[in-house]
Structure 1
Amino acid sequence: MPIQVQELECREGTIGQITLDAPGSLNALSGSMIDDIQTTLDQWAGASHICMVIFRGAGDRAFCAGGDIRELYGALSGMEDNAVAANYFAHEYRVDYTIHRYPKPVITIAHGAVMGGGMGILSASRYRVITPDIKMAMPEISIGLFPDVAASWFLNRLPGRLGLFMGLTGARLNATDALRVGLADMAILPEQIDSLIARLQDERWTGESAADDNRLFRLIKQLEHPDYRALPASELARHEQSIARLSAGDELPAIVENLLAADVDSDWWKACMDNLRGGCPVTAWLVWTQLKKAQQMSLKDIFRMELAMAIRCTQRPDLREGIRARLIEKDNSPQWSFKTVADVPESVVEEHFLPELDDSNDPMNLD
């Protein structure tokens, strides 16, 4: 089974624990994992004995490195109408929306790689706990997709234009970065995870959401945190002024040109620029446009917008080509449909945002 589902007995009440259990693929989310998570969450939402939910990842290397891109590639290659791929995105976004709106506290304890779909679960959780080895990113520009799983929501809430920068460059954030900009709530050492869960099990949980939530908040805050001076130095603290200055303006091609031309002496910055330089030009426009459109949107409408975008991506050649070049044949030379950001017609960008989904035509059936 691609996930482990456990019910952990407490002095009173029960904790539901979901462990992503595909360490060989860095716990990448397959279609079956997504469906099993949704089924479990639906069952627990109405179960009076379940008082909270914990998400974890198996293995030492990752909480979740994103969606199962190889499975998605197979769907894109084998279905002319791409219905299987579209269905994958609809189910994944429904899981994320469910976590965002869950009636019981959800705690995600994330370690190692947290990217794409892993970011979707973490950002949707009420309590976002990370370990010092975290590597966090939305790297979709490298494969011709776009930052999804409600990235239009959580990237827009970052200071300045950091969300735009992350989407354009696939920038990898460390634990200090994540805490600095509010993408995580607290850090704990790996050896503290089992003791945290043991402390939770030693409590009486009544199932009264507000009371349990208040006590849970206090209990987590009482944990001994690692010395934050011992955490990795913040790359964002070093570069945030450059990011703000170079990402300012109203013209995306000029912003991309400014970023790529900047003389910044840093391995981290170079990796970001390599991703931008080799990334999909259409994706750059999707990042730019989704963040602007989402500023006035509800969470539900953001997921609907992103589903329309994802479905269109499955119909165009860039996503399949990006996965081929990066993960299948690994030649790292994707042939994008347009060579530069300036070459992309506005009509190509706008067609990713149609149709506009609402209660009458939403395949996710968000309520």
Structure 2
Amino acid sequence: MPIQIQEFECREGAIGQIILDAPESLNALSGAMIDEIQTTLDQWAGASHICMVIFRGAGRAFCAGGDIRELYGALSEPGDSSSAADYFAREYRLDYTIHRFPKPVITLAHGAVMGGGLGILSASRYRLITPDVSMAMPEITIGLFPDVGASWFLNRLPGRLGLFMGLTGARLNATDALRVGLADMAILPQQADALVARLQDERWTGEAAADDNRLFRLVKQLEHPDYRALPESDLARHEQSIARFSAGDELPDIVDSLLSADIGSEWWQRCMDNLRGGCPVTAWLVWTQLKKAQQMSLKDTFRMELTMASRCTRRPDLREGIRARLIEKDNAPQWSFRTVADVPESVVEEHFVPELDDSNDPMDLD
């Protein structure tokens, strides 16, 4: 099993640690990994000796997202998209569990933090990153949409940065992530083990385990990188352009404005390449999900995303996007519509027809 489950005794209480251990796939989350993590968290939630949980990743990355190849196999089953939709239900339930976990959850993220990896990080109470982090929600490139609770956390970014990230799959470095609040603190890579050792030297039973200030002070005592030595913030250089060209009430106009902007930086051009070659239906899903989620609870946000994902499994774009980007790698997906302006309103609306409530929610959200 590409998951390491560990328990570390403290002076009082214990720490549960989950290490994603599939380095050959950059710890992409398979269905089996999701199920093992869910089972472990369900057990630890009620275990009196476990006082906090730590997430880490083995190898060069924390987590590059969901296991897209596994999903492609499910999408390729003739006439049946139920197994693909079930994958999303299990992944979203896991993210919701982390959001609502009754004990502190600390994620130590390094390297690639994409899609489902950002879902875990964003759901954690303490979000620690190393200077080499590369963070993104790149679903537009494969015909999905920013999921795993992105309707919740992208809406909490300043201005229209959440929209920009969803439309362009923009990659954020460590400085960007700290700047906009997608991470709480940077630590040096070698400090991850030191943090665990420092936590083990404490008593974590009773009220001490729930003392956020105490835990935060311990984290602050670690050796941190000189923030002046972190990568230059791409967002700082482009935030005025993002605000200017993402403004407006009509999505086709915003897309045209972004694509026609005369900005020569390599970072901006990579963003525009993703938007230009991305799925037009996805652009509308991003636009609509962020609007609808503004007044939603976390539970209803995940239910909306599961409905959207289920619809995506029944349409051709998701399978085609995975084929073009990851299976045959011709990088020439044939989307169901050529441009954003070509997408009928009815195609967008069908992704948001409410399907789930307390009586029929396969995620079993409480």
Query: 1:103 — aligned with what?
Result: 102
Which runs of 5 or more structure 2 residues have no equivalent in the other structure?
none
The one-letter amino acid of 1:17's match is: Q
The SS at the match of 2:5 is strand
How far apart, CA to CA, are the structure 1 residues paired with 2:249 and 2:188?
42
Query: 1:32 — aligned with what?
Result: 32
How far apart, CA to CA, are the structure 2 residues paired with 1:2 and 1:325?
27
Is 1:148 the counterpart of 2:147? The answer is: yes
Q: How does 1:9-28 map to 2 (within 5 A)?
A: 9-28=9-28
Is 1:93 the counterpart of 2:92? The answer is: yes
- Asked whether the 8 Å contact 1:103–1:209 carries over to 2, the reply is no
The SS at the match of 2:205 is coil
- Asked whether the 8 Å contact 1:2–1:33 carries over to 2, the reply is yes
Of all paired residues, the percent bearing the same amino acid is 86
- Asked whether the 8 Å contact 1:143–1:279 carries over to 2, the reply is yes
In the alignment of these two chains, the number of paired residues is: 366
- Asked whether the 8 Å contact 1:134–1:175 carries over to 2, the reply is yes
- Asked whether the 8 Å contact 1:65–1:113 carries over to 2, the reply is yes
The SS at the match of 2:80 is coil
209 and 203 in structure 1: CA distance in 2 versus 1, 3 angstrom threshold: closer
Q: Which moved more, 1:83-92 or 1:214-223?
A: 214-223
How far apart, CA to CA, are the structure 1 residues paired with 2:270 and 2:167?
12
The one-letter amino acid of 2:359's match is: S
- Asked whether the 8 Å contact 1:104–1:209 carries over to 2, the reply is no
How far apart, CA to CA, are the structure 1 residues paired with 2:36 and 2:57?
15
Query: 2:123 — aligned with what?
Result: 124
The one-letter amino acid of 2:80's match is: D
Query: 1:321 — aligned with what?
Result: 320
Is 1:44 the counterpart of 2:57? The answer is: no
TM-score calculated relative to the size of structure 1: 0.98
Instruction: Tell me the CA shift for residue 210 of structure 1.
Output: 6.0
TM-score calculated relative to the size of structure 2: 0.99
Deviations 1:58-111 (A, max 9, x none): 11x210000000000000001422111010000000000000000000000000
Instruction: Tell me the CA shift for residue 356 of structure 1.
Output: 3.4
Is 1:254 the counterpart of 2:253? The answer is: yes
- Asked whether the 8 Å contact 1:155–1:163 carries over to 2, the reply is yes
The one-letter amino acid of 1:357's match is: L
Instruction: Tell me the CA shift for residue 9 of structure 1.
Output: 1.0
105 and 41 in structure 1: CA distance in 2 versus 1, 3 angstrom threshold: same
Deviations 1:227-273 (A, max 9, x none): 00000000000000000000000000000000000000100000000
Q: Quote the RMSD (CA, aligned, Å).
A: 0.9
Query: 2:305 — aligned with what?
Result: 306
Deviations 1:249-306 (A, max 9, x none): 0000000000000000100000000000000000000000000000000000000000
Q: How does 1:72-221 map to 2 (within 5 A)?
A: 72-208=71-207, 211-221=210-220
Query: 1:54 — aligned with what?
Result: 54
- Asked whether the 8 Å contact 1:167–1:287 carries over to 2, the reply is yes
The one-letter amino acid of 2:212's match is: D
How far apart, CA to CA, are the structure 1 residues paired with 2:99 and 2:78?
31
How far apart, CA to CA, are the structure 2 residues paired with 1:184 and 1:207?
27
Query: 2:274 — aligned with what?
Result: 275
What stretches of structure 1 move > 4 A for 4+ residues in a row?
none
How far apart, CA to CA, are the structure 2 residues paired with 1:117 and 1:143?
14
How far apart, CA to CA, are the structure 2 residues paired with 1:181 and 1:348?
33
The SS at the match of 1:156 is helix
Deviations 1:191-231 (A, max 9, x none): 11111111011111114366443321211122232100000
Which runs of 5 or more structure 1 residues have no equivalent in the other structure?
none
